[in-house]
Structures are given as C-alpha cells and as structure tokens.
Structure 1
Amino acid sequence: MASTTTSTPLRIAIIGAGPGGLVLARLLHLANIPFALYEAEPSRTSREQGGSLDLHEESGQLALHAAGLYSEWKKIARSEGEDMRVADKHGKLFMEEVDTQGRNNRPEVDRIQLRGLLLDSLPEETIHWGHKMRSISPSSDDDGKHDVHLETAAGTRMETFDLVVGADGAWSKVRPLLSGTKPHYSTISCLDTRIRSVDTLHPAISKLVGQGTYLAFSDRKGLVGQRNGDGSIRTYIMLQKPETWLKDVGVDWSDEMATKNYMLEEEFKDWSEELKGLITHANPDIAARPFYMLPTDFSWTSKPGLTILGDAAHLMTPFAGEGVNLAMADAMDLSKAIVKASTESEDTQLFDAIKEFEKTMLVRSHEKMEETWRNLELFFKPDAPKEFVQVFEEMMAAHGPPPEVPKGYS
C-alpha cells in the first residue's frame, strides 16, 4: 500500500457518535485532518444516554487532556461521586469509602454531560445524524479502500474511504470484516431503573446510596444504586441467569407493577426491606437487557482500510468501569497513528500505523477485560461480596490508602 501524505488527503469515516468516536473526531479536528462521522440516531437528544461513569487518569482523563477539554470536564465532574458502599442482602456493610475528597481522582460525570461536552467541541457539519450504515465492503479497485453504504431519510448512498473506523458498539458492523467472533452472553441479565426526586420523596433511599454508589450482592444477585448529577438515583437490578431468562420467565418487563411484584416476591423476597426500596420506588421506565461481552483474549488480523475501537473492539460488562475509559484511550492512540501517517515529514504507511495502534490497544484491553471478568465472578459468588472486598483491599493497599472497613466485619 502506497505511503499516504498530505498531498493526498485521507478520506476517513468514523461510524458511531459514542465517546470513542467523538474523542477521535475531536482530535482529528484539532489536527486539521478531515473526517466524516456517521451516527444512526436522528439527533443528539433522541436517546437516553444512561447513568454516570468515572473517568480514569491514565485513560479517559488523559484523552480529555489531549482533546483540550480537561478544564471544561472538571467543571461538570463530581468528586463526591467516588463514594462507595458495598453490602450484602441484609444491608450489612462490608466496605465503606465516603468523603474521599477526590482521593482516588476518578470523579463521576453523567454520560449525557460527557457526550454534550464532546459534541459541542465539534463543528456541526462534521456529524451526520440519521445516517445508518447498512453495509461495508472492499472497494472494487482492491486498493485497501472500502465502500460504505449509508441509509438516510432521503434514501441510500455510497461513499468510499481510505479508512473506516468502527466506533459502532457491541454489535458493530465493521467488526465482522476483521473477525467472525461475535459477542457472547456474560451470564448476567439486568433491569435498568431510576428513582427521580429521591431526596424529597424517598429520603431513606437517598441516605442509603449517598452521593456515590451503593452495591449490594448476595446469592448471585445484585442491587446497585448510583447517584446521578441531576440528583436522581439509577438502580441496576442484576441477576445471574441463563441467556434467554428475560424472555422465558414470563414477565412483561414494560409493566411496572408486574416487574416489581416478581422481583419483590420471587427474586429478592429475603432481602432487607431497606434494600427492596430500590425496587419498590423505581419509576415506570424500566429497561431489561442481558449483558454481552467479547472473549477476554479477543483479537483479529489487521486489514488495510479498517479498524475498530471501544465496545466494537473489547466489549465487556460494567464491573470494572473500564469501557468508556478504554474507548477514549483508543481514540487518542488512533488519532496519533493517523496523524503520523498523514504528515509529510513521516514516511509511515497508514496500514503500518494502524497495525501498531491495534497492537497497543489489544494489550491494554486484554488486561482490563480480564479484570472485569474477575470482578463479575467475585460479585456473583454465593458468598459475595466478601471475597470482592478482600481483593479490593489488596489492590488499594498496593496503590493507595485502603477504604474504611466497618467495625465487626470479619
């Protein structure tokens, strides 16, 4: 493949306007490298973006530094969101880490706020909303380029690109051109719920969860309450079940009362009344979904004109808080590879630069995918959360002060 320089500008497509795709777009914009970002959603407000997440110094925060957005992010980040309590089904605390004053430097930010920050940093014309990728195929010229077939409200069209970046999530349409491996069920199914106006309507729950996250695990089940920036609490009801359980159990998850009755009378009937309040007081908008993941050693053979990042490259469950952080770090490293291959002073082929990027990304992602899987296993052991807390304490002892452990814990 011939060397690519600024005399022949690259045509780059980014598929997906999630955090990874947006960080890559921002960094290419700063480097004056043209790109087109395609997003299937019709607008930035067309879909709920989920709860909050913590950004890590070595990945998410570093990417924001590179993107020139760190100071703006600090204005919306919540250091109190780092607070964490871990308990069992009886409400017995096994670990409590509160009022850390940002000690771990992993503040929380709502997903919608992070996305808004990134979107506002880009020229509007660079993002093509309502553009769904129907298919992608190698160009007929056999030159490493790819034809992208896009579906819009006005019809369909085809564009040809030197590089197509799949930042298109768990069910990526770019990934199949690199590997036949598909995501598999992680063993965990989840109901995503929310409690609004919690401070005034349900002060006991507000006090229980605090300003951060409250995790209760027992009997291969979990209730996770997470404070969001708008004051609401998002609750995740998690169960280790067969893949088709959500369909087979016979509950209409869109029916608020049927959902609550089943959970309270069947799955969580012997949990403390205080914890069951996270279910009882959930608002009607309940989303049920299974968690999927890619193999922890997932990799592929590099091909000219294609790459993937974020969930498309290393889909994992949320049990280490690494998904968005890795996606942002991926975008930062990929932007450097593209810039290197686009600079006249560098005699670097784009394909070689992409291969080096993928090599670095896979080493990093394999480590975090393994960590995430270990955490899942610890959270859903019959005697959870005891062993998870022990592992967490060992990690904190190696990297910083240990969390406060309540008296009487054994």
Structure 2
Amino acid sequence: MTPAIAIIGAGPSGLLLARLLQHLGDIPSTIFELDPSSSARGQGGTLDIHEESGQRALKRAGLSSEFQKLMRPEGDHLRLADKTGFIHIDEETPGEGRPEIDRAQLRQLLIDSVPAKSIEWSSKVASLQPTPDGRFRIIFANGSEDPRSFDFVVGADGAWSHVRPLVTDVLPFYSGISGVEVRFRDVDKAHPEISKLVGQGSYFCLSDEKAYFGQRQGDGSIRNYAMLRAPESWIDDCGIDFSNPQATKAAMVERYFDDWSEANKDLIRLADEDHVIARKLMMLPADHRWTSRPGVTLMGDAAHVMTPFAGEGVNNAMVDALELAEKVAAALRDGSAGKMQENLAKAVKEYEEGMFARVHGVAQETLQGLAVLFSKNAPLEFKEMMEGFKAGHRDVKQRTKCNIGAPMEQREKMTEKQQIRLNEQLLLYYTQKRWQ
C-alpha cells in the first residue's frame, strides 16, 4: 500500500523530496504551492551548492548532468574589501566543489524533474486538520478544504511554516540584521565600473558592523545586499520610505554608508529603481528540536531557518530531502502493508534525530559567520576565518579567534561547548538587549 503524501511548499527541499521519492521508490506525492506558477515572483539570489551535501543529493536524484549544465564554477571567486575600497582578498574561495547556481535556475531544474500534475499551484495552505484515523486534511487560506486525507505531510513551507505548529510552538526570532536588497540588471553596459568591482563571483565589503554582499547572477546581473546591525523595528521606525526606491537609496547612503568610498556608495545609489527591497533576517534557535509526531515532519527553513552567513541553508535543506526520502523509501519497501503508519513514524523519527544533530553544528557556524561579518574589525576577522578554511579548519573549536566577544587568550582556553554557549549568549545580547 502506498501512502498519500503531501508536501507543503515547492521550494528546493520540497521539490527535491518529491523527485527523490519518485526516483528511489516510485512513491508519488502531491506538492501544494502558494505561487500561481513557477515564474510568478523572483526567487532570490545565487546559491553555493556544496559537493558533500547539495550536489550529493542531486546526484542521488539523478540530476547531476542537468545541474552541471547550469552551474557556474567561476562563481567561487571572492573579493573582500573594506569601506575605503581597499581589497583584502581577491581570489578563488577556499575549497573546491562549491559552484554557484541562481535559486530560480535550481528551482526550475527541480520543477522539470517531477510530474507536472504533482504540483498544485495557487494552493496557499493555512493549516492542517488531524483526522480521527491519524491522517490529515489540508485547509487553505481561502477557507476551503482539500477533499483528500493524507497519511504523511511534510512541511517545506519556509520560515513561517503553517505545518510547524503541529510539532512545535517555537517561532523564528530576529537575528539583529536588517538592510536593503538592490539589483543591477544591464550592469555590464550601464555600469561597467560596478561590474568590474563585483567581478564574476561575490564582492563582500565589511566595515563598522555593516556589510555589502554583491553577487553576480547567472544572467549577468548583480544583486547587492546592504545590511547592518539594527533593532527589529528598524524597517518601520527608521524613517525611510521604502515604498520610494529613489528616496530609499539616497537615505541608505546618507545615513549609514556616508563615509564609504564613492565606488562603494554607487553599489546602492546607482541601482535599478524597480528592485529596492527592505529585508530583516530571522532565525530559529540553534538547538531547535521537537518531539516526533507520527504523520508529519518539517525540513528546510520550516525546520531550521538560519541566516545565510555560512552558505549552508539550501544545502542542508537538500540533505533533509535526501535523508527523509531514503528513510521513507526504505520503510515502505521493507515493511508490511498493515504496519505502514508505524513504519513511517519510525522512519520520520530517525530522520529527525539525524537532522537535529547535523543542523546544530551548521547553525553554530552560521552564528559565527554573522558575528565575524558584522564585527567592528570585520575585514580582518573575516580574512582570518577564510585562512582557517584554507587550512581545513571548518569547526568551531579550530577557529577560536572568530568567537564573538571574549579576549583572544580566553577563547583559546575554551572547550568547544563553552565557545558555542558564548556565541549563543552574545547573539542573544545583540538581538534582545542592545536595542532596549
């Protein structure tokens, strides 16, 4: 007997799960997506797809060749500067096997890999209703109810998941970082100096607890994220009219980046006026977990939304899809029909325990990345961290110099557990105390 499986959200993890279930076990699923089509809205910037995680999941799904046609190895190039324009790093980033792909390209690749009829567009899920027999009914935002019942529901519906309340009442909290996203579409012709500054990969400019993150896109355009430490209410209370692109660009430069070099200022003030978006970054606790509930689970941002400062978010979401698909396929292949729900529940619990352990370390690395990128001595601390990557030091203990706060001599004497606790305590300070 094949269970009725619903996947909420047609992002990378939800689509990859559907593909893997079909590819590994000929297991069908239905994906519910709020967008009316794949092209209904922008999908964000560029993603690093790591060999040991995201690429491994794509290979298991039989999609390596399609990915290789779209990936950009040159996207590994990094330029690191400070506000004066001084270049600290101008080279390929440490480690191989991390080519880039635009989020929209990855999503379309995955959409094309599943049966078209398996995606139900314009289906905004509001909640799930448990049934007496242990299944779930889907309630949509317009008040209607899907006539089907599902044996297994996977929440892949992002940071503000409508599936998450079934397993936990924990909500994302503010990371302490806000800012503005801008874009340069015809940048090579209209602004060749900006094209040259960013290059073919990424341009990080870090100073005074503020940052630019410029990224070359697959279509040749450039996105820039101008971010800073700010209170959670900053978007509403800073006095900038974010509905007015021209005024937003001028105010951002005047108020927050006035002492940056003219070339760096241009990365905001010359940006296209049809793409100026205010953003604040949210996250779940690094040790977030829940008690397993039969018939439902989470993955991707629904399970562990984090800031993008370690480049691990989408890669871990793709590993979520791989590990869950493998567990479910094995449970259905090896178990008897009469024990389907029991076998599924066991598979889900095993997946969740593995995911909790795997993601905790990644979340710590992301916290550390945030602390370094937005430190007062950011260019030098980030350069030091990158040199640690070159030496193969990717764990917290081996990069003691990058811990938040604490004098260097104290950091070097800390155990890994003490370092992790320090990072969490100081992030809590930044997000809850600093702006009171």
Give, in whole Å, the separation in 2 of the partners of 1:104 and 1:367: 21
Moved more, 165-174 or 341-350: 341-350
- The aligned residue for residue 6 of structure 2 is 13
Contact residue 163 and residue 305 of structure 1 kept, 8 A: yes
Equivalences for residues 88-237 of structure 1 within 5 A: 88-98=82-92, 104-141=96-133, 143=134, 145-151=135-141, 155-237=144-226
Contact residue 379 and residue 385 of structure 1 kept, 8 A: yes
CA distances 1:232-256 after superposition (whole Å, capped 9, x unpaired): 1101010110000111011111212
- The aligned residue for residue 403 of structure 2 is none
Q: What is the one-letter code of the residue matched to 1:18?
A: G
- The structure 2 residue matched to 1:275, chosen from 254, 260, 264, is 264
Give, in whole Å, the separation in 1 of the partners of 2:102 and 2:116: 22
Q: Secondary structure at the match of 1:171?
A: coil
CA distances 1:77-106 after superposition (whole Å, capped 9, x unpaired): 0000000011111111222224x7x96210
Q: Secondary structure at the match of 2:212?
A: strand
Q: Secondary structure at the match of 1:46?
A: coil
Identity of aligned residues (%): 49
1:300 aligns with 2:294: no
Q: What is the one-letter code of the residue matched to 2:272?
A: N
1:396 aligns with 2:390: yes
- The structure 2 residue matched to 1:29, chosen from 3, 22, 32, is 22
Higher relative contact order (CA 8 A, sep 6+): 1
Unaligned ranges ≥5, structure 1:
1-7, 401-410
Alpha-carbon deviation of 1:349?
Answer: 1.2
- The aligned residue for residue 4 of structure 1 is none
Cα RMSD (Å) of the superposition? 1.7
CA distances 1:18-41 after superposition (whole Å, capped 9, x unpaired): 000000010112221121110011
1:325 aligns with 2:315: yes
1:248 aligns with 2:227: no
Q: Secondary structure at the match of 1:217?
A: strand
Call closer, same or farther: CA 1:323–1:222 in 2, change over 3 Å: same
Give, in whole Å, the separation in 2 of the partners of 1:330 and 1:157: 26
Q: Looking at secondary structure, tell me which structure has more helix per residue.
A: 2
Contact residue 34 and residue 121 of structure 2 kept, 8 A: yes
Q: What is the one-letter code of the residue matched to 2:169?
A: G
Contact residue 95 and residue 390 of structure 2 kept, 8 A: no
Alpha-carbon deviation of 1:140?
Answer: 2.2
Query: What is the number of equivalent residue pairs in this alignment?
Result: 388
Alpha-carbon deviation of 1:201?
Answer: 1.2
TM-score by length of 1: 0.91
Give, in whole Å, the separation in 2 of the partners of 1:150 and 1:197: 40
CA distances 1:212-239 after superposition (whole Å, capped 9, x unpaired): 0000011111111100011111010101
Contact residue 43 and residue 103 of structure 2 kept, 8 A: yes
Q: What is the one-letter code of the residue matched to 2:102?
A: D
Contact residue 149 and residue 158 of structure 1 kept, 8 A: no
Contact residue 18 and residue 28 of structure 2 kept, 8 A: no
Contact residue 149 and residue 159 of structure 1 kept, 8 A: no
Give, in whole Å, the separation in 2 of the partners of 1:151 and 1:260: 35
Give, in whole Å, the separation in 2 of the partners of 1:388 and 1:308: 33
Contact residue 18 and residue 115 of structure 1 kept, 8 A: yes
Call closer, same or farther: CA 1:301–1:85 in 2, change over 3 Å: same
Contact residue 130 and residue 152 of structure 1 kept, 8 A: no
Contact residue 83 and residue 261 of structure 2 kept, 8 A: yes
TM-score by length of 2: 0.86
CA distances 1:5-60 after superposition (whole Å, capped 9, x unpaired): xxx22111000000000000101122211211100111111110011111001111
Alpha-carbon deviation of 1:146?
Answer: 1.9
Q: What is the one-letter code of the residue matched to 2:326?
A: K
- The structure 2 residue matched to 1:58, chosen from 52, 56, 61, is 52
1:370 aligns with 2:364: yes
Q: What is the one-letter code of the residue matched to 1:360?
A: G
- The aligned residue for residue 331 of structure 2 is 341
Alpha-carbon deviation of 1:388?
Answer: 1.7
Give, in whole Å, the separation in 2 of the partners of 1:15 and 1:345: 26
Q: What is the one-letter code of the residue matched to 1:107?
A: P
